[in-house]
Structure 1
Amino acid sequence: MRLICLADTHNKHNEIPIPKGDVLIHAGDCTDGGTRNETESFLKWFSSQPHKHKILVPGNHDFYFEKVENLANIPKNIGLLLDRGIEIEGIKFWGSPVTPGLDNWAFNRERGKAIKKHWEMIPDDTQVLITHTPPFGILDEIGSGIHLGCEELLKSLPVVQPIYHLFGHIHHASGSTKRSETKYFNLSILDERLRIMHSPIILDL
């Protein structure tokens, strides 16, 4: 199974070449302002991609997905993961859009107990974990050197031990690394000035 993975496209999805594959995964911030028009444009594009399966985990810019009444408008061929999982050809995916903070962004949760309960929902047998936030200290460093990832998410990873952990959010830290048995990918396509600087990541399972 070939996964095509990206995040943080901020309305520039039409400008990004998308490789062929089986599962197309977007790990959040598909829009910039989270408006209906922005979101509908992205969903039309995303749902029309030729990949057999499509998974979307919103990010902190994607306000549209916070409103329950909007969720009925999601194309049926898109798996929207809001603290839930999906199994594709025996591979178990889990996605959550929450990010730490109290800045009135979409899906923000206070650090500590408030956000911890979201990570406690992740099944132990998850093979591909998709979050918008990075875990603390892993591909989460901004230009000033500060780490903005989630401490509670980091604590949950030794229990889950996914094969792949996919995320975005911190544009400056786009890249990959491996710790223990898990490979981590910050999938941010744009840099901090919202310029297209990276390509989607291709992963095989």
Structure 2
Amino acid sequence: MRLIGIADTHNKHHQIPIPDGDILIHAGDCTDGGTRNETKNFLEWFSRQPHQYKLLVPGNHDFFFEKPEYLKNIPSNIHLLIDNGVEIEGIKFWGSPVTPGLSNWAFNRERGEQIRKHWELIPQDTDILITHTPAFGILDEISRGINLGCEELAQILKVVQPSHHLFGHIHHGSGSVLRSGIRYSNLSVLDERLQAVHSPAVIDTHTQ
């Protein structure tokens, strides 16, 4: 099964050539201001993509997904993952949009116990974890050399041990690395100047 992964498109989704695959995954920040019109535009584009399955995890810019009354308007062919999961052809996916921080961004949670409650929801048999935030110390370094990933998520990953952890949020950290049996992929397609410089990730995985 071929997974195509993107994140941090910030309204520039129309500019990004999307490869063919079975599952298209967006790991957050599909919009920039999180407005109704931005969200509608993205969802219409995302739902039209030819991939059989489409998974969406919102990011800290995607304010409209925090509105319960809007969630009923998600196109039926998109799996919206907000602290929940879906099984596709034997592969168990789990997604969460929360990011550590105290500012007024969408889905922000305080570091420590508050955000840990979200990570403790992740089932231990998760095969592929999709979050917006990276774990601390893994593809989470901004250009000034500061790591902004989540310490609590890093601890939970040692227990859950998915085969893949897909995320975005830190544009400067785009890329992939294998550590302790987990393939970590930062799916950011825009750089820190919001220019589309990175290609979508292509991930081949096996069904059970």
TM-score for both structures, normalised by structure 1:
1.00
Give the RMSD, CA atoms, in angstroms. 0.4
Structure 1: which amino acid aligns with 2:49?
Q
Question: 1:37 deviation in Å?
Answer: 0.2
CA–CA distance in structure 2, aligned partners of residues 179 and 2 of structure 1: 21
> Aligned ranges for residues 163-202 of structure 1 at < 5 Å?
163-202=163-202
Paired residue secondary structure (2:47): helix
Q: Which residue of 2 aligns with 1:124?
A: 124
Deviation sequence 1:89-145 (CA, Å, 0-9, x none): 000000000000011000000000000000000000000000000000000000111
Q: Which residue of 2 aligns with 1:11?
A: 11
Question: 1:158 deviation in Å?
Answer: 1.1
CA–CA distance in structure 1, aligned partners of residues 171 and 203 of structure 2: 20
- 1:99 is the counterpart of 2:99: yes
CA–CA distance in structure 2, aligned partners of residues 12 and 84 of structure 1: 27
Q: Which residue of 2 aligns with 1:80?
A: 80
CA–CA distance in structure 2, aligned partners of residues 175 and 23 of structure 1: 19
CA–CA distance in structure 2, aligned partners of residues 163 and 82 of structure 1: 20
Unaligned 5+ segments in structure 1 are none
Question: 1:19 deviation in Å?
Answer: 0.4
CA–CA distance in structure 1, aligned partners of residues 146 and 202 of structure 2: 28
Paired residue secondary structure (1:172): helix
CA–CA distance in structure 2, aligned partners of residues 115 and 89 of structure 1: 30
Q: How many aligned residue pairs are there? A: 205
- 1:45 is the counterpart of 2:45: yes
Paired residue secondary structure (2:159): helix
Paired residue secondary structure (2:190): coil
Question: 1:31 deviation in Å?
Answer: 0.2
Structure 2: which amino acid aligns with 1:199?
S
Question: 1:10 deviation in Å?
Answer: 0.2
CA–CA distance in structure 2, aligned partners of residues 15 and 158 of structure 1: 37
TM-score for both structures, normalised by structure 2:
0.98
